[in-house]
Amino acid sequence: MSHRDAQLYELRKKIEELKKIRGRGTELVSLYIPAGYDLSKVMQQLREEYGTAQNIKSKTTRKNVLGALERAMQHLKLYKQTPETGLALFVGNVSEMEGVTDIKLWAIIPPEPLNVRLYRCDQTFVTEPLEEMIRTKDAYGLITVEKNEATIGLLRGKRIEVLDELTSNVPGKTRAGGQSARRYERIREQETHEFMKRIGEHANRAFLPLLEKGELKGIIIGGPGPTKEEFVEGDYLHHELKKKIIGVVDISYHGEYGLRELVEKASDILRDHEAIKEKKLIQTFLTHVVKDTGLATYGEREVRKALEIGAVDKLLISEGYAKVRVRAKCNACGWEELKTMSEEEFETYKKRLTRCPKCGSQNISFEKWDVAEELIKMAEEAGSDVEIISLDTEEGQQFYRAFGGLGAILRFKI
């Protein structure tokens, strides 16, 4: 996993956190500052917005908006100039208790240059410009072709998506009584030609926009017989799309199963593609677990221990893994407790732990951080590779369900 991949993973986590937050009124401030933009102009705009916000009728909303703007301006003073790729600020009251103010600020320096300037005060944060950055852009076109049916799909990242399914009116090889074999064959050929034209038109509509955006990396075509070669050799696909054909393979199925088989059979062609790499990686992990080689481990405690002693070769984290590490501390006697739990469990934990179990004091503070981000930093420090496992593949879902979404392939037995 490259530094950029780690950045994108952490950005995805922050976006998920931001999207869950809801303001009581239009009181959540989103601010996007493009790369190279003059910060003094942003400060001037925020001062003007602060003046306007004085007129908000709702006392609570007014207080929260003013508090958010003050916090944003205070934070911007930390920068001499806009960071190289721009800056996104999200500020607002996150307290769930009516009448209680808890202004929180997120400052995100994006992994690629921001080209949008935006200020908005709303009930939700504006995350779309950042979401566009984490969207997997590279795509492979998939087409399965038979005499009677075709499927058009897309492999984007690790997700296989069915875009179109077509059926034909091509008659079967058993000819109708009374019809000459030659005439019947001409009808079949004409119907097949028309069907292939239709497949080409649908594929052109699906793939040309991706080609124009530079996102289409290749097209793979499959089918059970010679029809796929006829389609490839004929003048059915747009000439620019024909240049993007990187493989023609034999497959048995059609529909979504056909697309999955197509990707699997084209694994040599796609050997560097994420879906194939992920499948092989999970298979390696499972082999170690099933054969009990001692070179795989899973679970937060076991993986953390392996990282601490430098035993991890590859750290595997599911996109669905969402645990937090919590430290509860008594500020009176110094008692501490460290636990790993879900966000929902954390809320229950805070409500339940009202007194220190050692001295009975109610002066307890809580600290919380993301487990995945912590383990990624530990892996980077130990020189271990980090692999983010998607939920878009069968293997990825199996890893999440069976192993909790956290595992490691080890350098040596522990």
| Average pLDDT of span 78-88 | 93
Residues 6+ apart with CB under 8 A from 163: 152, 153, 154, 206
CATH fold of the domain at 139-270: Nucleotidyltransferase; domain 5 (3.30.420)
Q: Could you tell me the pLDDT band of residue 101, with boundaries at 50, 70 and 90?
A: confident
What is the rounded average pLDDT for all residues in the chain? 90
- Looking at residue 321, what is its pLDDT? 92
Residue 334 has pLDDT above 60, yes or no: yes
Percent of the chain with pLDDT over 90: 70
Residue 119 has pLDDT above 90, yes or no: yes
- CA–CA distance, 237 with 273 (Å, rounded to integer): 24
- CA–CA distance, 244 with 239 (Å, rounded to integer): 9
| Average pLDDT of span 312-330 | 94
Q: Which residue has the higher pLDDT, 147 or 272?
A: 147
**Cα 60 to Cα 52, 56, 124, distances in angstroms:** 15, 9, 17
Residue range(s) in the chain whose domain bears CATH number 3.30.1330.30: 273-414
Residue range(s) in the chain whose domain bears CATH number 3.30.960.10: 3-134
- CA–CA distance, 55 with 76 (Å, rounded to integer): 24
Residue 359 has pLDDT above 90, yes or no: yes
- Looking at residue 2, what is its pLDDT? 54
- Looking at residue 155, what is its pLDDT? 93
User: Is 0.75 surpassed by the pTM of this model?
Assistant: no
The pLDDT tens digits for 280-299 are: 999 999 999 999 999 999 99
Residue 147 has pLDDT above 90, yes or no: no
- CA–CA distance, 302 with 413 (Å, rounded to integer): 12
Residue 169 has pLDDT above 80, yes or no: no
| Average pLDDT of span 145-150 | 90
Residue 179 has pLDDT above 60, yes or no: no
Pick the CATH number of 3-134 from 3.40.50.10860, 3.30.960.10, 2.40.340.10, 3.40.50.1820: 3.30.960.10
Q: Could you tell me the pLDDT band of residue 171, with boundaries at 50, 70 and 90?
A: low
Sheet holding 103-108, edge to edge: 103-108, 87-93, 28-33, 118-122
Q: Which residue has the higher pLDDT, 123 or 255?
A: 123
Length of the chain: 414
CATH code of the domain made up of 273-414:
3.30.1330.30
Q: Could you tell me the pLDDT band of residue 53, with boundaries at 50, 70 and 90?
A: very high
| Average pLDDT of span 136-142 | 88
- Looking at residue 375, what is its pLDDT? 95
The pLDDT tens digits for 196-224 are: 999 999 999 999 999 998 889 999 999 98
- Looking at residue 168, what is its pLDDT? 84
Residue 174 has pLDDT above 90, yes or no: no
- Looking at residue 3, what is its pLDDT? 62
102 token code pair = 């808890």
- Mapping DSSP onto H, E and C, the string for the chain reads CCHHHHHHHHHHHHHHHHHCCCCCCCCEEEEEECCCCCHHHHHHHHHHHHHHHCCCCCHHHHHHHHHHHHHHHHHHCCCCCCCCCCEEEEEEECCCCCCCCCEEEEEECCCCCCCCCEEEEECCCCCHHHHHHHCCCCEEEEEEECCCEEEEEEEECCEEEEEEEEECCCCCCCCCCCCCHHHHHHHHHHHHHHHHHHHHHHHHHHHHHHHHCCCEEEEEEEECCCHHHHHHHCCCCCHHHHCCEEEEEECCCCHHHHHHHHHHHCCCCCCCCHHHHHHHHHHHHHHHHHHCCCCEEECHHHHHHHHHCCCEEEEEEECCCCCEEEEEEECCCCCEEEEEECHHHHHHHHHHCCCCCCCCCCCEEEEEEEHHHHHHHHHHHHCCEEEEECCCCHHHHHHHHHHCCEEEEECCCC
Residue range(s) in the chain whose domain bears CATH number 3.30.420.60: 139-270
